[in-house]
A and B are shown apart, each in its own frame.
Chain A
Amino acid sequence: AQTVTQSQPEMSVQEAETVTLSCTYDTSESDYYLFWYKQPPSRQMILVIRQEAYKQQNATENRFSVNFQKAAKSFSLKISDSQLGDAAMYFCAYCNGGGADGLTFGKGTHLIIQP
């Protein structure tokens, strides 16, 4: 079975600074996808960024980028120019290559933005 580990229960960053959230995973599959989801206080889950395991290039979405290290099974999220609206729970998630079997989530990192 696949597992996803987020070792930072809580992180704090000053507004406009950069922060990196860590995620490691364990799988024996070669074809899979990785995601970062954001859950603000409204509890609505919002997709931040996705990475296909077969792609060597790290995904980027505006201020959000990932550092995908396939051999190390590491998938960290970097948030640049942090904004107050970035404050939320962030979840790392994994799915197998077929994509239809559901996501495996980490326990989440609570990100606090200091004004």
Chain B
Amino acid sequence: DGGITQSPKYLFRKEGQNVTLSCEQNLNHDAMYWYRQDPGQGLRLIYYSQIVNDFQKGDIAEGYSVSREKKESFPLTVTSAQKNPTAFYLCASSTHGGRGPVGEQFFGPGTRLTVL
């Protein structure tokens, strides 16, 4: 079955530590995205990548970093510079360039990050 996987489902971090969230897709999608969700808020875009070895900052990129070395993978690192990292993180992917419904994004199951 094609889809998006995120791991781990729950993650605990001590203050001052960096942590990396995994996101893998086997949908052969070009574009991948990271969103953050806080209680009472919608999803906010952290970073996105339209092609391998290229990525752009979203609305709340400070304190986060990403890499896109493979089409299937888009890991997100939450650094110690992120002041309030406790949140629910969602990864998504989409196809574009005329190969599918424009803008429609498919989401992974999410990772709940808690800073202790």
A: which residues have CB within 8 A of B? Answer: 4, 6, 9, 33, 35, 42-45, 47, 50, 52, 91, 93, 95, 97-108
**A43-B88, A106-B42, A107-B41 known; A100 vs B94 contact (CB < 8 Å):** yes
Kindly report which residue of chain B lies nearest to residue A95, judged by CB atoms: B103
**Segment of B16-24, B63-71, B72-80, B105-113 engaged in the interface with chain A:** B105-113
Kindly report which residue of chain A lies nearest to residue B105, judged by CB atoms: A103
The complex places the Cα of A19 from the Cα of B53 at a distance, in Å, of 45
The answer on a CB contact under 8 Å between B33 and A102 is yes
The answer on a CB contact under 8 Å between B42 and A102 is no
- 1/0 per position for B42-65, CB-CB distance to A under 8 A? 111100101000001010000000
The complex places the Cα of A91 from the Cα of B30 at a distance, in Å, of 24
Residues in B neighbouring A95, C-beta threshold 8 A: 102-103
**A interface secondary structure, majority:** loop
Kindly report which residue of chain B lies nearest to residue A97, judged by CB atoms: B102
Report, as a range, how many residues of chain B touch the other chain. 20 to 34
The answer on a CB contact under 8 Å between B31 and A47 is no
The answer on a CB contact under 8 Å between B104 and A43 is no
The answer on a CB contact under 8 Å between A44 and B109 is yes
Closest Cβ of chain B to A64, distance in Å, is 15
Q: Number of residue pairs across A and B with beta carbons under 8 Å?
A: 68
The answer on a CB contact under 8 Å between B42 and A4 is yes
Kindly report which residue of chain B lies nearest to residue A44, judged by CB atoms: B109
Closest Cβ of chain B to A61, distance in Å, is 13
Closest Cβ of chain A to B86, distance in Å, is 15
The complex places the Cα of A91 from the Cα of B94 at a distance, in Å, of 18
The answer on a CB contact under 8 Å between B96 and A43 is no
**A33-B102, A35-B103, A35-B104 known; A103 vs B43 contact (CB < 8 Å):** yes
The answer on a CB contact under 8 Å between B43 and A105 is yes
The complex places the Cα of A105 from the Cα of B96 at a distance, in Å, of 19
Closest Cβ of chain B to A36, distance in Å, is 12
Task: Say yes or no for B2: interface residue by CB 8 A criterion.
Answer: no
Residues in A neighbouring B103, C-beta threshold 8 A: 33, 35, 50, 95, 99-100, 103
The complex places the Cα of A105 from the Cα of B107 at a distance, in Å, of 14
Residues in A neighbouring B41, C-beta threshold 8 A: 107-108
